Each structure stands twice: as C-alpha cells, then as structure tokens.
Amino acid sequence: MIQEVAERWGKLLGQCSPMHIPDGAADLPLHVTHWGDTGPDVLLVHGGVQGGIGGGPANFGGQRPLADQGWRLKLVDRPGFGASPSRGPDNMQTDAELIAGLLGDRSHLIGHSFGGAVALLAAAQRPAAVASLILIEPALQAMVAADTESMAAPDVQEGTRIVVDALLESETPAEFARSFAQRLGNGAAEGPNPSAAMLEVDPARAHGLGCSLLQAQMATPEVLTRAAKTVVDAQLAVLVISGGYTPNQDSVGRALARLLAGRHVIVRSPNHFVQEENPDEFNEVVDAFMRDSDGAH
C-alpha cells in the first residue's frame, strides 16, 4: 500500500509545474483583518491550500458577530491567500511559525482544516500565549493514524484515509482535487459542497488545486505528536469540532480530542465548512468555550 501510494503521488506530481515564488515574498508580513476594538484577542486561521476558496474573511465571515459579543478578532490570510503573497507550496510548519508570532501576549486560537494543524503547531511553539485552542475538523489525520488505540476503531480507520483514497482513484491532479473535495460532504441536498462545485466547472482550477495538494508540505506524524504532547503538558483548553455529516470524521474528531486531552462537540453541518454552514451554532459554542477558558484562567 505504501509503495502504491508513493508511486501514484509521484505520477500525479510529475504532471505539475513548480510553484512560482515572488521575489521578496518571504520578507513580507501576513495580512491580518481586524474585527472588533475591545476584548480578548481571537486569532483565526483558515484552511485550504492555494488555488481553493480561502482567506481569513472568506472562510470566517460568519464569525463577525463575535466581535459584537466582546471579542477582538484577527483573521489571518495565510501565504498565497487574500492579501498575503505566496511563499511557495503550502507549508504547515512555516505557517505555524508565522502564526505563533501573531499570538501576542495571550490569544484564543481557532484553526480550520489545514489551518487547524497549523494552529496546533503554533500553540505548541508558544503555549503560554494561548488562552484556548479550537480546532475545526483539523488536518491531523496523520497523527491519528499513528496512534494504535485510535486506529482500533473501523470508523477512525476510514476517516484517516480521505487523502489516500482520493489519490488512489485519480489519474490526474484535477481528478485528485475533485475526489478529495467530494469527500468533504455536500453543501446542500441538491449539490456538492462549494469547493467541489467550483472544481466541476473549472478544470484549470481543479488542476491547480490538485497540484497544490500534492506539493503541500505536511508536518510528519512525529512532529504533530510532539506538538500534541506539548499542548497536553501545558494543560491548554482544547475543543475539537466536527460537522456530523459522516460518522468517520466525527470519530476522528473524538480521537483527536482524546489525544489532546480536550473536548469534542458536533456542530451540525452538511460539509467540512462547519463555521460557514452553521455560523450561529458555531459562534454560540466557541463563545461559551472561550468564556469558560477565560474564567478558568
């Protein structure tokens, strides 16, 4: 299986052009959008890889009401999204260093998908600066797959195979992108989620997104596991949120909560974009969790 995955990965990656890195991009700061003038800081890290739908306000627009509830929101554009220039292929550990530098003295940290893994790594770099850590279906399947206890459950096994299964059924980067997106749930009863719908009508974008997925630099299970241990040892308040659209992903969420000594909750969503599809319930859950964390501190 490992050899088959490596061969397929290499075959698809060979169809991709190297990603262009603009001169001087690595020296530019990340763009941050600010909502709210008072209250505790909340740093929000969006998911996705370059070429998809993403960016701070684009992925967290539904959380703007939190600014009216006494939170000072800081919405980051990761490199290659929004107003932040690309620094080359998406890189979890590089992004984490940038995010850790934005935490200030103390911030609540919310991360979605790829940005959830980035948030975990950033929290491990500066745990004393993290008031709470909230992960929305984070891209931490590799860490769960390395845990024997978690992988004893068939649902968890299935939930950790999302990338591998998409890869093995694809012959081109575009097919890989569409297969991966389709595994993230449906946006409505009559059609696929927004990302999947976009890729069906835009082959060039599907190819670009597939190449971004293939070129992305993911943290290893060992690095992620060490980060999780740091977070647990620091006794950070951790909440893992999943969308309830598939038992497999909910099972992965429960496994992650156990590994991070945190809580798991389901905020009902038809797809992976929980905070976008069900912002009212999501905001209620995270508002209460952050207030409880601040009260305990």
The pLDDT of residue 281 is: 98
Report helix, strand or coil for 293.
helix
> Is-contact 90 117, C-beta < 8 A?
no
Cβ–Cβ contacts within 10 Å for residue 16, how many?
Answer: 17
The pLDDT of residue 188 is: 47
Residue 17 is assigned to a structural domain of this protein: no
Angle at 107 between CA 102 and CA 111, to 5 degrees: 75
Residue 183 is assigned to a structural domain of this protein: no
Range with top average pLDDT, 50-54, 59-63, 199-203: 59-63
Residue 107 is assigned to a structural domain of this protein: yes
Residue 2 is assigned to a structural domain of this protein: no
Report how far residue 44's alpha carbon sits from residue 60's, in angstroms, rounded to the nearest whole number.
8
The pLDDT of residue 185 is: 85
**185-237 per-position pLDDT tens digit:** 874 444 556 667 777 778 899 999 999 999 999 999 999 999 999 999 999 99
Residue 257 is assigned to a structural domain of this protein: yes
> Is-contact 208 176, C-beta < 8 A?
no
Name the residue range of residue 287's domain: 29-146+220-295
**132-179 per-position pLDDT tens digit:** 999 999 999 999 999 999 999 999 999 999 999 999 999 999 999 999
pLDDT over 90 (residue 2)? no
Higher pLDDT: 82 or 197? It is: 82
Residue 196 is assigned to a structural domain of this protein: no
Output the domain CATH number for residue 284: 3.40.50.1820
193 phi and psi angles, rounded to 5 deg = -65, 165
The pLDDT of residue 259 is: 98
The stretch 61-81 carries a mean pLDDT of 97
The pLDDT of residue 21 is: 79
At residue 28 the predicted structure's pLDDT band, cuts being 50, 70 and 90, is confident
Count of domains in the chain?
A: 1
**110-128 per-position pLDDT tens digit:** 999 999 999 999 999 999 9
The pLDDT of residue 27 is: 79
The pLDDT of residue 192 is: 57
Identify the sign of the CA torsion 192, 270, 262, 104. Answer: positive
Report how far residue 136's alpha carbon sits from residue 257's, in angstroms, rounded to the nearest whole number.
11
Residue 165 is assigned to a structural domain of this protein: no
The stretch 264-290 carries a mean pLDDT of 97
For all residues of the chain together, what is the average pLDDT?
93
The pLDDT of residue 190 is: 46
Q: How many percent of the chain have pLDDT more than 90?
A: 84
Q: Which long-range contacts (CB under 8 A, 24 or more apart) does 152-159 make?
A: 153/251, 153/255, 155/247, 155/248, 155/250, 155/251, 156/248, 156/251, 156/252, 156/255, 158/248, 159/246, 159/248, 159/249, 159/251, 159/252
Report how far residue 244's alpha carbon sits from residue 277's, in angstroms, rounded to the nearest whole number.
12
Structure tokens belonging to residue 225:
């596991």
Nearest to 103 by CA among 87, 119, 117: 119
Residue 192 is assigned to a structural domain of this protein: no
Report how far residue 101's alpha carbon sits from residue 288's, in angstroms, rounded to the nearest whole number.
26
The pLDDT of residue 200 is: 78
224 phi and psi angles, rounded to 5 deg = -65, -40
